[in-house]
Every structure is written in C-alpha cells, then in structure tokens.
Structure 1
Amino acid sequence: MISADDPELRVVVIAYDETEAASAALARADEWQPDRPAVLRHHLALPDHSVEAARGLLAADGWELRPGGRGASGGDAELTAVIALRVQQLDALHCSQESSRMAGLAQRHGGQVYGWDALQPGPGAPS
C-alpha cells in the first residue's frame, strides 16, 4: 500500500477541467498505472468556518483534508485552499462519483472546486 506522504509520488493524472469526463482524463494519462493504487486529490477552497465540518464529513469515508492546493490561486480571500486526499484504485466511475461528491460538499459550504489529480510512485517503485 502506498502512503500519501511517499516522496516517490508524482502526478500521473490531471483533471482540472470540470467539463472533461474522468474517463477522458484517465485515457490521456500516459503514466497512470491502472493496476496500482493512487493518491486521489481533490482541490477545493472552503470558508474558514466550514473546514472542520468538511474534515469530519470526509474523514468518515477515509479522506484526509490538508491545507494547500490549486484553490490557493483562486483569488478569493474569503476561502481557504484545501486538498481532500485518499489512497485508492482509480477508475472513471469512482473518480466521477467523488468529483460530484466534492462539488456538492463545496456548494453546501459556500466553497469552490478546482478539479482533481492523482499521484503514483514512478516506474520501478515497489508495489
């Protein structure tokens, strides 16, 4: 099993365009290894007062919420950039479902989503 803190991780899939299907993002990801687990990261920006509530909701399903990510460049001083991440196998269905979930979470809390990406260790790294 990989760790979200593994220094060998690198971005292998990028899906920052909300109009692009997860299947298309995965299909164009030349370095993605579908048979290996990945760290799926959703980039969000949430109001400060809702970060802890979001953390609690996501933790119930194994997600970790960390500061940072693409939301930091969103320019909205009222929102805090966070990354929701979890180790899992990637497939188009689950990536789409989780994207919808994150969009709903952000909407309920007055935040924004900035897409998702996935990280895996480089070739030759142990499974």
Structure 2
Amino acid sequence: MSLLDRVRDLLRKEKMPELTPDTPGLAVVAEAFEIGEADSAVLARSHSWRENEVAVLRHHLSLPAGRVAEAGGLLAQDGWELRTVSESEGTSRLHALRVQHLDALHCAQERSRMAGLAQRLGGDSLGWDALQPMDSR
C-alpha cells in the first residue's frame, strides 16, 4: 500500500462515523448457519459485504437462562456484548455482538470459540451473521 493510499484510508476513516451494533440502517451482508460451510465460502458468496470496512459480527446462541450472566462475563473480556433476544422455558436466545474487520480466519476462530463456549455452558451456537450499513458511507 502506497503512502498516498494510506493517507486516503486515514481521511476516509475520519469521515466515517463509528460503527456500533446499534448503528441505524445495518443490514445482513453475510450469514453462516450451515455447520459444514466454510467461513471463506460464506464471505466469498456475499455480494454486499464490503471487506475494507468494519462490520458487526453477530453470533446466535441458545443457552440455559441460568448461564447467561456467566457467558456475558466471559465474552465481555474480549469485547463481546451479549444481548438477550428471547427467553422460553428456561432457554435464552442470545446475540453476541462485536465490531471488527471480517476475514475467513477470524470468523472461523470466533465460530469455534462460540461453539465451545455454548457447549461448556449446556447450550448451542446456531451460527453467525455480519451486518454493515446499507449505504457504503
């Protein structure tokens, strides 16, 4: 990357508002709910993911309601925010959210981590999706 490209990147980043899980206008740009599909294939088939921009990575989890606080504490150590989506019969459906740059390696690592965490706590990791603003800012 040339010096001019770096300067352009810095200027572009200064103009972009900070992305958060609550940024208005977020849309799903990639999703992985098939356990056998590689994360690299998920990102490769996405036509709307902008790889040079950060995204909200959102993991979908199902955990026993009594283990949600424990999961939240563990995930917060690495910058994840855990939000309850719904609760039914002692089970909580959750979203673990974090803003980050997406690439196949990190998506696969986080998918594995979420699966391990969910299994240890008696739950399940259902998959992940990534969100970016609908406009390219």
TM over 0.5, yes or no?
yes
Distance 1:19 1:81 in 2: 22
Cα RMSD, aligned residues only: 1.4
For residues 104-115 of structure 1, the aligned pairs below 5 Å read 104-115=116-127
Q: Which residue of 1 aligns with 2:73?
A: 56
Superposition deviation, residue 113 in structure 1: 1.2
Q: Which amino acid aligns with 2:121?
A: H
| Unpaired runs of at least 5, structure 1 | none
When normalised by structure 2's length, the TM-score is 0.83
What is the percentage of aligned positions where both structures have the same residue?
A: 55
SS of 1:50's partner is helix
For residues 1-127 of structure 1, the aligned pairs below 5 Å read 1-68=18-85, 77-125=89-137
When normalised by structure 1's length, the TM-score is 0.90
Bigger CA radius of gyration = 2
SS of 1:49's partner is helix
Count how many residue pairs are aligned between Structure 1 and Structure 2. 120
Distance 1:49 1:108 in 2: 13
Q: Tell me which stretches of 4 or more aligned residues in structure 1 moved more than 6 Å.
A: none
| Unpaired runs of at least 5, structure 2 | 1-17
Q: Which has the higher contact order (CA 8 A, sep 6+)?
A: 1
